[in-house]
Structure formats: structure tokens, C-alpha cells
């Protein structure tokens, strides 16, 4: 009995693998095609090969006709979806077809009875315990159908053999039905978990989007500021921020190592700590505060380091900035040249000391900061930084720079988040040179 159950498991798994690639509406036709093919093949071989017995050719070919008719009905179900409610008719016809084939090819000596196993698996794979009883009833039809044509001449041994065959096929049906039940339960649990994860990701994405700065209308009119963040997943590790200060504005771009919800949570924490340093004129102090928050956590800092660039831009164009391992900040000069703001300081969570630096924005200059995901937008990795500088040199307007980078990020396949911020002094705010 154990061998039968194991064989049924193997047959069920093989059939399920084959069915995965078939559209749902074509599954009955796919199943019936195999059964009909076997019934036709059995009849043809019996008619052609002399060592296969044909005791009643009319009954044998009648079984073929029933199987082919069931195939035609399965084909109709593909065209007319409303007929799917009658799918049980198809395997029911197969039980009759195999019974007729069996009687016409030697009755109890027929070698083609195992074909009925496919119909048993078909019905038993449907959910519900009643689908164990239905294939058992169908097998009874297959085995007892010859009694309608020849009721006499059968001893008690034949009845015992048929009873034992019913037990075997009932075991097969029960095994397949249990496999189908377990598979359905696992699928439902997986779907429920997937939906729960999707809901959590949606909430996290909403929270992360709410942490992005409002539009530039909250900033002094002396500045033109634009930014965009395109995460590689629903929740990313990149962030950017801007807010007014007593002398101008503060701009921050950061990139947490990793992606997903964990990176998004760290990004939110680092952003909040940096923003809390608004009253401190030293941008490097913001990194020191954020570093304290990371190094006192229960996790290894090397698994959660953050690169970041933080700048304070005054209304007269003075830029006081600090770089925590970021290295992707530029000043696009009005003349078309591009200056990269370099620093040797380490990321937050790795370094312990950051230096502040000074730069100057003049009329027509644009301050630009991007995350390293922007470099992935260019085809040649070794030339990506030069390609980015060429893009900046060819694009004088801050709004256009952000637009171009964001469009590239949305058009191309990416494995990393993409963030860009571009800032310039409004022309009316730039004092005239003496």
C-alpha cells in the first residue's frame, strides 16, 4: 500500500509540474488529450498487434468514440468558459471509455486498465473530500461495466480481485487529494503572507515618501532647488532633504548601504538626526550626531553605514559642506566647467571625524549632488563618472538636470536607488560684483 501511495505522489507531482505551464482555461483539454491519446493508441495497437487480444472490436472502438467525444467537449470548454461548470463530465466519460476499452481488449486480461488512473488523479486533485468518493464511484463503473455485457461466467475470485483493485485506486485518490489539499493550503498561506508583506511595503513607502522634503516653496525665494528620488524597490535606502536655515538653506543627500525596508528605516533615522542639527552652523556636526545613533545600536555598524553629503548654502552663495564618504557632489559653473567637491572622510557608521569645507556659488552656477545609483544609469562603468560630468556640463538649468536624471532612472533597469538634488541662486538674489 505504501508503494501505491508513493507512486501516486510521484504521478501527482509530475502532472502538477506539467500543468504549471498550461493556462488555467486549457487545463481540462490538456488532461483529456493525454487520456484520449492513450485510449486511441491502445485500440490501434490491439487491432494491429497479433499478441494483443481483441474480444469485442465494437465495444473497443465505442470506448475510443467516448474518449474522443470527451476530448471534443474539453475543447468546447476552452472556447466557452461557462461550460467549465460541467468539467466533471469529461473524466466521468473517461471512466466509461476505459471500461469499454477494457471489455473489448480481453476484459480481466486487458492490459489497459491503468489508463483509468489518470481520470482518478484528475478528479481527486480537486479540493474537498468528496472528490475521493467520486473517482471511487467512477472506478466502480470502469470495473463493473463488463458485467452489463457478460453477467455470467465470473467466479468469486474475480469479485475479490475487483474489490482489491477498488481499494488500490481509492488509496491513490486519497493520496492525490491529500497532496492537493496540502498544496492548496500552502498556496493560500503564501498568498496571505505575500499580501501582508505588500501591505507593509506600501505603508513603509508612504512613510518614506512623507519624509521627503516638501516642494521648494518652503525655502527662501533666493534659491531655486529641485530634487527627485527613484527607489529601486518600493522602499529604498536613498534620501534627500532640504530646509531653511537662519542664513539660507541646508541640503542633504544620503545613501544607506542596502535596500528595502531596513535601509529605509535607517535612512529615515539618519535624515531626522541631520535635520535636528539645523541650529548648528557646522555641517560636520550633523554627521557626528548621526554617528552616535548608529554606533550605539545593537547591530554591527559595518552592516548599516551611510554615505551622505550635507551642505549649508548662504544667500550670498557661500557653501559650507561636509562629505561622509559620498563623493558625488559637484558645482556646475556658469562657464560650463564642472568642479567635483572631494573629501577623504569616511561614511557615517565607519568614520568618527568629519571636516567642513567651503565653496562658492556665483551667478549661473549650479550645485548638484547625486547618489551612486546615478552612475549605474550610464553604459560603461569605468566611464560613468565622466559621463555624468559631461551631462552636467551640457545642462545649465537645475530643473533640467533633475528632469534628465529622473527620466533615465525610470527608463532603465536598475538595481540601485537613484537620487539627485540641484540648487542654484535665483538670478535676482545674486549681488552684483563691484
Residues 122-163 pLDDT 10s: 888 888 777 888 888 888 888 888 778 776 656 566 677 778
Q: Give residue-wise pLDDT tens across range 370-381.
A: 999 999 999 888
Range among 75-79, 275-279, 402-406 with highest mean pLDDT value: 402-406
pLDDT at 361 > cutoff 60:
yes
**307 neighbors 326 (Cβ within 8 angstroms):** yes
pLDDT at residue 434 is higher than 50: no
- The residue-averaged pLDDT of 249-261 equals 82
249, pLDDT greater than 60: yes
Averaged pLDDT score across all residues of the chain: 83
Please report the pLDDT score of residue 351 as a whole number.
78
Distance CA 216, CA 211 (A): 15
Give the rounded percent of residues in the chain with a pLDDT score beyond 90: 36
Give the model's confidence band at 324: pLDDT under 50 very low, under 70 low, under 90 confident, else very high.
Answer: very high
pLDDT (tens digit, 9 = 90+) per residue, 45-72? 999 998 888 989 999 999 999 999 999 9
CA angle 329-332-333, nearest 5°? 140
CA distance 375 to 382: 10
Region 185-192 average pLDDT: 88
Contacts of 208 (CB under 8 A, 6+ apart): 231, 235, 236, 239, 264, 267, 268
Those residues whose C-beta lies under 8 Å from the C-beta of residue 328, and which sit 6 or more positions away, are 253, 309, 369, 370, 371, 372, 374, 375
Q: What is the pLDDT of residue 136?
A: 84
Amino acid at each position: 500500500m505504501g508503494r501505491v501511495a508513493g507512486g501516486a505522489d510521484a504521478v501527482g507531482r509530475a502532472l502538477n509540474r506539467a500543468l504549471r505551464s498550461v493556462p488555467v482555461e486549457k487545463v481540462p483539454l490538456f488532461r483529456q488529450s493525454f487520456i484520449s491519446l492513450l485510449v486511441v493508441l491502445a485500440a490501434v495497437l490491439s487491432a494491429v498487434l497479433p499478441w494483443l487480444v481483441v474480444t469485442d472490436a465494437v465495444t473497443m472502438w465505442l470506448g475510443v468514440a467516448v474518449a474522443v467525444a470527451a476530448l471534443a467537449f474539453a475543447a468546447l470548454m476552452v472556447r466557452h468558459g461557462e461550460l467549465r461548470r460541467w468539467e466533471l463530465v469529461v473524466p466521468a466519460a473517461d471512466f466509461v471509455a476505459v471500461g469499454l476499452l477494457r471489455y473489448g481488449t480481453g476484459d480481466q486480461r486487458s492490459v489497459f486498465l491503468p489508463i483509468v488512473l489518470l481520470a482518478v488523479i484528475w478528479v481527486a486533485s480537486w479540493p474537498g473530500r468528496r472528490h475521493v468518493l467520486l473517482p471511487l464511484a467512477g472506478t466502480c463503473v470502469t470495473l463493473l461495466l463488463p458485467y452489463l455485457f457478460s453477467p455470467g461466467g465470473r467466479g468469486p475470485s474475480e469479485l475479490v480481485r475487483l474489490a482489491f483493485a477498488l481499494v488500490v485506486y481509492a488509496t491513490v485518490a486519497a493520496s492525490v487529494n491529500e497532496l492537493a489539499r496540502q498544496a492548496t493550503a500552502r498556496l493560500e498561506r503564501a498568498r496571505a503572507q505575500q499580501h501582508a508583506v505588500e501591505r507593509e511595503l506600501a505603508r513603509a513607502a508612504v512613510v518614506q515618501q512623507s519624509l521627503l522634503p516638501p516642494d521648494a516653496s518652503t525655502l527662501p525665494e533666493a534659491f531655486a532647488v529641485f530634487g527627485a528620488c527613484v527607489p529601486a524597490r518600493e522602499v529604498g535606502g536613498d534620501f534627500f532633504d532640504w530646509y531653511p536655515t537662519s542664513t539660507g538653506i541646508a541640503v542633504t543627500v544620503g545613501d544607506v548601504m542596502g535596500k528595502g525596508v531596513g535601509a529605509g528605516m535607517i535612512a529615515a533615522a539618519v535624515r531626522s538626526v541631520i535635520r535636528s542639527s539645523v541650529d548648528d552652523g557646522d555641517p560636520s556636526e550633523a554627521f557626528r550626531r548621526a554617528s552616535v545613533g548608529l554606533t550605539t545600536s545593537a547591530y554591527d555598524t559595518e552592516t548599516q553605514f551611510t554615505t551622505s553629503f550635507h551642505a549649508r548654502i548662504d544667500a550670498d552663495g557661500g557653501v559650507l559642506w561636509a562629505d561622509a564618504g559620498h563623493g558625488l557632489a559637484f558645482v556646475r559653473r556658469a562657464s560650463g566647467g564642472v568642479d567635483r567637491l572631494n573629501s577623504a572622510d569616511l561614511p557615517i557608521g565607519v568614520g568618527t571625524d568629519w571636516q567642513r569645507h567651503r565653496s562658492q556659488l556665483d551667478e549661473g552656477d549650479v550645485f548638484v549632488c547625486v547618489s551612486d545609483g546615478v552612475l549605474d544609469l550610464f553604459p560603461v562603468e569605468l566611464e560613468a563618472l565622466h559621463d555624468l560630468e559631461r551631462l552636467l556640463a551640457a545642462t545649465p538649468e537645475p530643473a533640467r538636470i533633475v528632469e534628465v536624471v529622473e527620466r533615465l532612472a525610470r527608463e532603465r533597469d536598475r538595481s540601485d536607488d537613484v537620487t539627485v538634488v540641484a540648487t542654484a541662486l535665483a538670478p535676482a538674489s545674486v549681488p552684483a560684483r563691484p
